[in-house]
Structure 1
Amino acid sequence: MPLSVLKVLEVACSKIAIIAALLMALVIFVDVVGRTLFDSPLGFSYEVVSISLAIMFYSGLYHVHKTKGHITIDLMDKFYVGTFGKIVFWFVYLIECVFYTTLVITLFMQVEESYKFGDVFLFLGVMKWKVLLAVSIFALIAWVSLFVSAPKRNSGF
């Protein structure tokens, strides 16, 4: 069985999304217990939860793009049949590609700005550009997935 780079990316991104979700849940649990029982919250919990959420979201997008698992509203699908339906379907896909391409470019621009400005997380002491770079790389991987898994439904003219 040949090993595909895309399959490796999918498995790695899925595992990272799971780990980020578990880390986020653990930090929230410990923070709530600390606040409730000891009246002492974790100072860095907000930052860790925010980072974990971003990593979970963008690493999980690879699988969502690949399987076309987006939440969709299909109430009007019955009106989009034939050539008109194909045109609408491809138009929506192209809008999605343009939007997500813009998002990825903006994330990398934010990495550059954060690097120039020297932003540091308040409690973690980590340079923000490093975390943003990791998130941007996951977004770029999800972007590749978006283009690799071009629509199959209504795809032919």
Structure 2
Amino acid sequence: MHPHDLMKYAQWPFRILAEVALVGLVVITAVDVIGRVVFASPLGFAYELVGLLLGVSVYAGLIGMNWTRDHIRIDLIEGFLRRFPRFDRIRAGGVWLLEVVFFTIVALYVARQAVQMQRWHETFLFLPLEKWLPLAVYAGFAALAALSTALAVIPKLQARKEDLK
């Protein structure tokens, strides 16, 4: 099996998880709003579950997004930088390094928060779940996103054009 295919298949479950979380967000929000407006009886756990699913969709989605380098671009100075094409590789390397550092810091920070929350054994108001558990999952996803960013520059692992469609 080609290393690229291995990376592609390793990320498939996270893409599905992010998609399911997004659908869950829509369904739970719709049921909560309909229950609140029509029946005057909202879902008590909707706020907490929407927050958990939002975290899952963001952090699980980061893994594939970072690997394909398919992030949002802010092109305020791109026109200016085009005048210096010889610096493109340096600029790309600097941006890549910043991304790796950023996502590593995010992973470490979220893991630290999970450890701190575990000490208190605090649970959600409606969901019978300690708050540190989802944070630990998010920290794992963020670590995988940082790893995915780091691996994105290895030529044999880089996303192919058919994957970006």
Structure 1: where are the runs of 5+ without partners? 153-157
What is the Cα deviation at residue 5 of structure 1? Answer: 4.5
**TM-score under structure 2 normalisation?**
0.84
Distance 2:28 2:145 in 1: 26
Distance 2:124 2:6 in 1: 33
1:93-148 CA deviation, whole Å, 9 max, x = no partner? 21221111111100110110010111211110201111111111111111111111
2:147 to 120, 144, 149: 144
One-letter code aligned to 1:23: G
1:16-54 CA deviation, whole Å, 9 max, x = no partner? 001111111111011011001110111100000000000
1:104 to 81, 104, 107: 107
Partner of 1:31: 32
The aligned length equals: 152
One-letter code aligned to 2:15: S
> RMSD of the alignment, in Å?
1.9
Partner of 1:52: 53
Structure 2: where are the runs of 5+ without partners? 156-165
Contact 1:79 1:85 in 2 (8 A): no
**TM-score under structure 1 normalisation?**
0.88
Instruction: Note closer, same or farther for the CA distance 1:108–1:5 as it changes in structure 2 (3 Å cut).
Output: farther
Partner SS for 1:91? helix
**Runs of 4 or more above 6 Å deviation:** none
Sequence identity of aligned pairs in percent?
32
What is the Cα deviation at residue 73 of structure 1? Answer: 2.3
Partner of 1:114: 117
1:123 to 123, 126, 130: 126
